[in-house]
Amino acid sequence: MTLFQILGILVVASPAVLVAVLGMTTVSGWPMSERATHRWTFGAVGIGLAASIAVLVMMLTSGDRALPLDAGQWVSIPEEEFHFHVKFLFDWLSVPFVILTFLLCGTIGAFANRYLHREPGYQRFSMCYALFMLGMVVSSLAGTIEVLFCGWELVGLSSALLVAFFHERVAPVRNGQWVWSVYRISDAAFLIAALALHHLTGEGDFDLMMGAGPWPEGVAALTPDQALFVGSLLLIAAMGKSALVPFSGWLPRAMEGPTPSSAVFYGALSVHLGAFLLLRVSPILERSAILSAAVMVVGFLTAVTAAASARVQTDIKSSLAYASLTQVGVIVAEIGLGLRVIPLIHIIGHACLRSLQLLRAPSLLRDYHTLENAIGGHLPHRTTWWSAWLPSEWRTRLYRLSLDRFSLDGWLETIVVRPFVAMFQWCDRAERRWTDLLAGGRSRESDDVPTHETVVEELKL
């Protein structure tokens, strides 16, 4: 157990130390060179990967299927029956996922060292990359729902920052804000589910919530109605994080970031984090047939819409993003059907394949044109599966619908964004009337600042 504790601490501490070193050097105004940054990153990934593989070997030789690493209670409020328990769990679900995290982060880190060479934001990219790796490790090994939420937030923050990496342009900033807004919906559902679990079971520990048996054999200590309520909130959280229907619109927007971040985030790890959450809380899904059916339907709809959208995209990164989303939908549908080990294997294989494809994307088109020039003509294009039996009118409609990405962004804006904006505007008007009444006139200095439209009208006059 002493050896396991040392190895477990190394797995968690290696990315945390990398974040601390990069953060302190950046804040101090003396950022490290690219070579030093790469060495620190390679060292953190190497130590974490070696320690996690050693833990896996130890579990295989000893026969243990779950090894907890308890860091104690950091916050305890007896009157409110609330405590923040920091615990990491090494089992058959978390250990393969954390090994996959270190392996892909190390590969893409080596690629980014050359791809972003002399990029002005290299240090900023490295910091967000380190935050993402720490968030993925914490999420993978979380033994309580509070620790999982902390890692979940780190992944979301680093992802949104890297979507808006090229902040000198308008489109990346807007898309980064869109991604962050969708994550807020997902995180709100996750937080409500965590509070509900604390209220219903009195604990946030996965061992106590999911039963005494190791994953995936645990039985949730919830009634079917309670499982349906909590599981529905967790499903919404997974839908937002993994870009499932109807939140699929943020995935192509995320391609505005650098290619290394697109590969590790939206092709390999971050896009699978929602499916990982569903696997972690799979005993809750098994308590409600309605919830399992809902998970299966969401996965199936996501796979169908993403497969149709992937075939009509005009750029390779968006096409790969929707192809990745197709497989994520299939994985979620497998989880809804009651499978556990097969979705985990599917995640590992798909993450490795999609990382390779996205890293290969920058040079693929050049090689494609070189091949066409060599053969003196265009390469044959494969026809779509519906062109053989669908009528022409239906093919046109399906093509337009797929090209418009099934108008999911428009539906989301109508259902979610506009009601919130209308509510905030009403609150702003109510506050303005109250403060104007108390001040006896205009109560905001911003009211006296001319707007852009006013300035334009004055210039015209």
Q: What is the DSSP string of 366-383?
A: HHHHHHHHHHTSPPPPPP
**Cα dihedral: 284, 290, 295, 300 (round 10):** 160
pLDDT of 245-276, one tens digit each?
A: 989 988 888 888 888 888 887 778 999 999 99
CA 219 – CA 228 distance, rounded (Å)? 15
200 confidence band (pLDDT: 50, 70, 90): confident
In Å, how far from its chain's centre is CA 251? 10
Count of CB atoms within 10 A of residue 147's CB? 23
348 confidence band (pLDDT: 50, 70, 90): very high
Q: Using alpha carbons, list the distances in angstroms from residue 45 to 10, 37, 324.
A: 11, 12, 25
Percent of the chain with pLDDT over 90: 49
Question: 54 CB contacts (<8 Å, ≥6 apart)?
Answer: 7
Tell me the mean pLDDT in the region 332-343: 95
CA 195 – CA 207 distance, rounded (Å)? 17
pLDDT at 453 over 70: no
Instruction: Provide the b/e sequence for 168-199 (b: ≥16 CB within 10 Å).
Output: eeeebbebbebbbbbbebbbebbbbbbebbbe
63 confidence band (pLDDT: 50, 70, 90): confident
Instruction: Supply the DSSP symbol for 389.
Output: T
- Given this model, what pLDDT does residue 449 score? 57
- Given this model, what pLDDT does residue 385 score? 57
- Given this model, what pLDDT does residue 261 score? 85
Count of CB atoms within 10 A of residue 133's CB? 31
Q: Which residue reads 């334009």 in tokens?
A: 456
Sign of CA dihedral 125, 127, 130, 135: negative
User: Mapping DSSP to helix (H, G, I), strand (E, B) and coil, where does residue 53 land?
Assistant: helix
DSSP 121-163: THHHHHHHHHHHHHHHHHHHHBSBHHHHHHHHHHHHHHHHHHH
- Given this model, what pLDDT does residue 190 score? 95
Q: Are 405 and 249 in contact (CB under 8 A)?
A: yes
- Given this model, what pLDDT does residue 83 score? 66
pLDDT of 311-331, one tens digit each?
A: 888 788 888 889 999 999 999
User: Mapping DSSP to helix (H, G, I), strand (E, B) and coil, where does residue 70 land?
Assistant: strand
pLDDT of 284-305, one tens digit each?
A: 999 999 999 999 999 999 999 9
- Given this model, what pLDDT does residue 454 score? 60
pLDDT at 458 over 70: no
- Given this model, what pLDDT does residue 445 score? 66
In Å, how far from its chain's centre is CA 218? 26
pLDDT of 102-126, one tens digit each?
A: 999 999 999 999 888 888 889 999 9
Categorise residue 455: left if φ over 0, alpha if ψ from -120 to 50, beta otherwise. alpha
**Do you know the residue count of the chain?**
461
- Given this model, what pLDDT does residue 386 score? 55
Q: Is the pTM of this model over 0.85?
A: yes
In the chain, helix, strand, coil percent, each to 5? 75, 5, 20
- Which H/E stretch holds residue 210? none
Of 213-222, 332-341, 427-436, 442-451, the poorest mean pLDDT is in: 442-451
User: Higher model confidence: residue 449 or residue 94?
Assistant: 94
- Given this model, what pLDDT does residue 432 score? 86
Give the residue among 130, 171, 170, 1 at the shortest CA–CA distance from 69.
Answer: 1
pLDDT at 394 over 80: no
- Given this model, what pLDDT does residue 349 score? 95
> H-type helices in 202-262, by residue range?
206-209, 224-241, 250-253, 259-261
Q: Which residue reads 């054999």 in tokens?
A: 217
Of 101-115, 339-353, 436-450, the poorest mean pLDDT is in: 436-450
- Given this model, what pLDDT does residue 235 score? 96
**Cα dihedral: 170, 174, 176, 182 (round 10):** -170
Question: 367 CB contacts (<8 Å, ≥6 apart)?
Answer: none
- Given this model, what pLDDT does residue 239 score? 95
Give the residue among 135, 143, 124, 53 at the shortest CA–CA distance from 95.
Answer: 53
pLDDT of 40-54, one tens digit each?
A: 999 999 999 999 999
pLDDT at 456 over 70: no
Mean pLDDT of all residues belonging to the chain: 87
- Given this model, what pLDDT does residue 317 score? 81
User: Higher model confidence: residue 359 or residue 441?
Assistant: 359
What residue ranges in 283-369 does DSSP mark as E strands?
none
Amino acid at 375: I
Q: Are 285 and 442 in contact (CB under 8 A)?
A: no
pLDDT of 64-87, one tens digit each?
A: 888 889 887 767 666 655 667 789
CA 121 – CA 169 distance, rounded (Å)? 14
